[in-house]
Structure 1
Amino acid sequence: MIKTQKDNNIIWYDVVRPTQQDMRVLQEELKLHSLVVEEMKPRLHRSKLDLYSGYLFLVLHIPLLKKRGQEVEVIELDGVIGKNWLVTNRYRDISAITQLQEKFTEYAASPEFRAQPVAHLLYQILSTIMQDALSALDDVESRIEHIEHTMFKGKEREMVLEISRLRRDIIDFRRITSPARPVFRTLDDAGPALLGTETLPYFRNLTGKSEQIATLLKAQKETIEALEQSNQALLTTNTNDIFRILTVFASIALPLTLIASLFGMNVDFPSFVNLWTILAAIVAVGIGMVLFFLKKKWL
């Protein structure tokens, strides 16, 4: 389905789940290369920017994290950028585009839009998408802080799964967004060359946001890896403490068992005439060993 928004200076074709007929209409009306039409049909596996005569072809992968615990999804947005027209192609809803369409008439009346309609429209779409990604990374930052505060309160085991999930999300975010960095750098040069040098600030801003996302993801990756190591160290320490205590108890129980076994033999012991004497010996040895372990700081 093709939804068209028109203003005096621009035509915006928003294509949602395109059919063969939709592709033919766009190709004939905009004189698109057959390679562009072919690559707009299936989902590509990486972000890219191709330069054609009179227009640019952009493929951008967008990370989407709906709820905590769910895997990060990949949304693909294709864009064909002409001097006075713009095509956006997608196979599912993208909130940045939906919001812009609802306010297009009001938005198109702004001086900034009228000065550079294609550049400003493209900027608004991509900037909103990247801002949504930054908001998702803010949520990731909150989850990191939660883990950091919780793991030192004796809940190391509960944090193992949470750390693993969060690390997976960060890795998925990096895998999706990393290929977009060179795309924005290329767009930084190709965009002004097509639309005019006065559009340079828009594309520089997009490149800056792309670098900001990459820097934030790198810092979050290093932080979660450090937290994972710290959590593992706490778990190891707790396990060692448990084994140490069990070993001490076993060491105390061994001589007491030996004493009980000796007096359980079918042999006369004239010096030990009753049960209380045997119990007193066992208690005395036990207390002596506990005091010895305390002195050595093993308990």
Structure 2
Amino acid sequence: MSAIHAKNFIWTHLHKPTADDVMEIAKNCGLHPLVAEELLQPTFRPKVEVYDNYLYLILHFPRFDARDSNHGAEIDFIIGKDFFVTTHYERMPALEQFISACENDKRKSKQYLASTGELLYYLLSDLFTDSFRELEKMDKTLSIMKTVIFKERNRDYVEDISLIRREILDFRRTIHPQQSVLHSLEQEGGVFWGKSMQPYLSRIIGDYLRIWHILENHKETAEALHETNQSLLSMRTAEITKNLTMMAFITFPLMLIASLFGMNTLATPLVGARFDFWMIIGIMLAGTAGMFVFFKWKKWI
């Protein structure tokens, strides 16, 4: 448990809070027992609840780990007029950097810690900025993929596209439920802090909507790339099938003539005559050339 003392309130931050930590916070802030119970373990859905002297807010933010999997990291906010409590259960570099800035940078500390409402705004803005950075990485990956898919048509990009589609799906799954929560926060926060806080809350929703629109654009791009890759693979498969079919038909006279002259009969034409071998080879080559000319005439090759 760590605490940052602002002029008008105290910000207490807990990482993986224990029962003793939660009990102390509940006693100092007058938390409802249900809120105290929820602080002990992660919650899988975002929400905002209004109590007599504080707001209880749960949000999830996309987090990418080393295995390229993405899941939401939860932050719980308990926001009163003279106290601000945050809890999280997994390592979040963006949150840790924000806390460090409040502790070590006097200019940012003065700006961020003016009130609990402004602290919430700057903290959420910083976390959304981290999400924007992840979206920029996705955008670069999609741009590279758009280029190479057409340059290297013989390569299968199904796995690469599937990975980026999974990242987008996980990102969407994490942030989509939060839209209604943030709208509720805008309404309840306006009542809790007053009209002066309204522009801050509106900007939070604006940042969220920007993230959502960019994510929707990435989703459409990834789906278009998937369809394009599938079309190129289908064209490649069709071209290979076409070439193999033409080879089979062109070489068909060779096999037919070889089979005919390989029959064990008493009166096979040409067999036994002078230069019979070269005559049969000539017939086979003529048949192959005839099939080739026929395919050319039909513009199949």
TM range (shorter): over 0.9
Q: How does 1:54-203 map to 2 (within 5 A)?
A: 54-67=53-66, 70-105=68-103, 106-107=106-107, 110=110, 112-113=111-112, 116-155=114-153, 157-203=155-201
Q: Is the 8 A contact 1:64 1:74 kept in 2?
A: yes
Please tell me whether the aligned partners of residues 14 and 87 of structure 2 are also in contact (alpha carbons under 8 angstroms): yes
How far off its partner does 1:221 sit? 1.1
The residue number in structure 2 matching 1:7 is: 6
2:238 maps to which residue?
Answer: 240
- 1:99 counterpart SS class: helix
Q: Deviations over 1:240-283 (max 9, x none)?
A: 11111111111112222111222333434259642222111111
Query: Are positions 1:218 and 2:216 aligned together?
Result: yes
Q: 1:50 to 1:65 in 2, by over 3 A?
A: same
Counterparts of 1:170 and 1:100, CA distance in 2: 26
Change (3 A) 1:217 1:156: farther
Query: Residues 156 and 172 (structure 1 numbering): CA distance in 2 closer, same or farther, change over 3 Å?
Result: farther
Matched, 1:276 2:294: no
Partner AA of 1:80 in structure 2: I
CA shift, 1:72, in A, is 0.3
2:189–2:197: 8 Å Cα contact kept in structure 1? yes
How far did 1:101 drift? 2.4
User: Could you say if the C-alpha distance between residues 276 and 37 of structure 1 is closer, same or farther in structure 2, counting changes exceeding 3 Å?
Assistant: same
Change in Cα spacing, 1:52 to 1:292, as seen in structure 2 (3 Å) is: same
Could you tell me which residue of structure 2 aligns to residue 293 of structure 1?
295
Q: CA shift at 1:19, angstroms? A: 0.9
* 1:119-168 CA-partner distances (Å, limit 9, x unpaired): 22111211111111111011111111111111112345431100011111
User: Which sections of structure 2, spanning at least 5 residues, go unmatched?
Assistant: none
Question: Cα gap change, 1:234/1:113 in structure 2, threshold over 3 Å: closer, same or farther?
Answer: closer
Q: Is the 8 A contact 1:7 1:108 kept in 2?
A: no
| C-alpha contact 2:153 2:232 (8 A) present in aligned 1 | no
Structure 1 counterpart of 2:49, one-letter code: D
TM, length-normalised to structure 1:
0.93
The alpha-carbon deviation at position 108 of structure 1 amounts to: 6.0
CA RMSD of aligned residues (A): 1.8
Q: Structure 2 vs 1, CA of residues 292 and 59 (structure 1 numbering), >3 Å: closer, same or farther? A: same
Which stretches of structure 1, 4 residues or longer, exceed 6 Å deviation after superposition? none
Q: Which moved more, 1:116-125 or 1:222-231?
A: 116-125
What amino acid is the match of 2:56?
F
Q: Distance in 1 between matches of 2:285 and 2:180?
A: 76
Contact 1:96 1:125 in 2 (8 A): no
CA distance 1:55–1:259, change in 2 (3 Å)? same
Q: Which moved more, 1:250-259 or 1:125-134?
A: 250-259
Call closer, same or farther: CA 1:270–1:92 in 2, change over 3 Å: closer
Distance in 2 (alpha carbons) for counterparts of 1:17 and 1:156: 49
Seen in structure 2, the aligned counterparts of structure 1 residues 36 and 156 have a Cα distance that, compared at 3 Å, is: farther
Q: Aligned partners of 1:88 and 1:107: how far apart in 2?
A: 22
SS in 2 for 1:277: helix
Aligned equivalent of 1:20: 19
Residue by residue over 1:158-204, the C-alpha shift from the partner in whole angstroms, topping out at 9 and shown as x without a partner, is 31100011111100000000011111111112122112211111111
Residue identity in the other structure for 1:154? E
Aligned residues: 295
